[in-house]
Amino acid sequence: MTKKIPPHLATQTVAADQPRKAARHGKIEEVFTDVFIVRGRMPSTAARPLFERLFIHFSRTMTIVRQVNDEGEAELTLFNTLRLNEKTLDQLAQLGRVKHVVRLGSFHGVDDGFYVNRFTAKYWIVDGMINADGLRSSPDVLSNEGGNLPPLTGSTLFEFDGLAYPEAIYLLSATNTRPAIAITTDSIQNHTSLFDRDNSLLVSFGIWRIGLAGEARLGPIWLREQTPRTTTKEAANTGRPPSRREVSAFFKPQFERLLDTCDFEALIAGHGWPIRAAAKVSIQRSIDDQLLVR
């Protein structure tokens, strides 16, 4: 019997008319002026193996940006959505009205449909992404050209080139009360402690084992999954994963382009805790450690 291979995470999103329940999560925290986060657990489903449902769960972080429109109303833009329970949704409503939902990473998005439909929010995705079924409106493609971005003053987009599954980094400009901030999904993570209540023990061990523990680390699994395979027939037939040298050759110039062309001081990742200052220094250390072939 042929073993059925499950679809890749990047091709799966929960249909908007079948929202999953809220998983365990914390409170809404203001980490910078008008920038908030909620940290919680990625939910599992009955379709997943029992062992995974019991012992494999990992944390994720949603970012909320508030901005007042011309009419004086507070509007919210959500990144890396995390389904909240009703009590925390009431707290969210006190911040403002959810107007925009942004999907930056192909491996995230299972809760986007819930927010898009509940709040009739505008949905934004990176070019080439597969979005959920049953949305009340078609998503817009994020682009710096023509300013096709959520109306956050001075915001820009950094797109990775040639990935197997699209991903981008969103950049918020500095204001008088906060630094410039980079919002990432899986490309850059920030697991500065293995004592994370939203990670299972096995996941925390895995984070340490693969070299993801630390400040502003480049996701090792993400790097490998996103590096295009060598196009030669021989390499295609072997199905081998990309070598460290291939990963470095593909990604090192892109992360260096991020540091050279984008202005930011802080970073909020889709996994882990915020970096409040000198984020570029930490990213450069990770590039030197993870992408230099010795």
pLDDT in tens, 189-239: 998 877 777 776 666 666 677 777 789 999 988 999 899 876 444 455 556
Mean pLDDT of 251-259: 97
Residue 246's nearest CA partner among 226, 265, 268 is: 226
CA–CA separation, 244 vs 225, rounded Å? 12
**In this predicted structure, what is the pLDDT of residue 79?**
97
Domain 10-290 has CATH 3.60.15.10: yes
Instruction: Evaluate if residue 33 carries a pLDDT over 70.
Output: yes
**In this predicted structure, what is the pLDDT of residue 4?**
41
Instruction: Evaluate if residue 84 carries a pLDDT over 80.
Output: yes
Instruction: Evaluate if residue 255 carries a pLDDT over 50.
Output: yes
- Where do the structural domains in the chain lie, given as residue ranges? 10-290
Return the amino acid letter for 38: V
Chain centroid, CA 201 distance in Å:
22
Instruction: Evaluate if residue 3 carries a pLDDT over 50.
Output: no
Give pLDDT tens digits for 88-140: 999 999 999 999 999 999 988 888 888 988 999 999 999 988 776 667 778 89
Q: Give the percent of the chain with pLDDT over 90.
A: 54
Label residue 21 by pLDDT band (50, 70, 90): confident
**In this predicted structure, what is the pLDDT of residue 22?**
73
Label residue 43 by pLDDT band (50, 70, 90): low
35-41 β-sheet, strand order: 29-32, 35-41, 59-68, 74-79, 97-103, 122-125, 140-141
CA–CA separation, 21 vs 257, rounded Å? 39
Mean pLDDT, rounded, of the chain? 84
**In this predicted structure, what is the pLDDT of residue 203?**
67
Instruction: Evaluate if residue 253 carries a pLDDT over 60.
Output: yes
| Listed range (31-35, 70-74, 263-267) with the worst mean pLDDT | 70-74
224 versus 266: which is more confidently predicted?
266
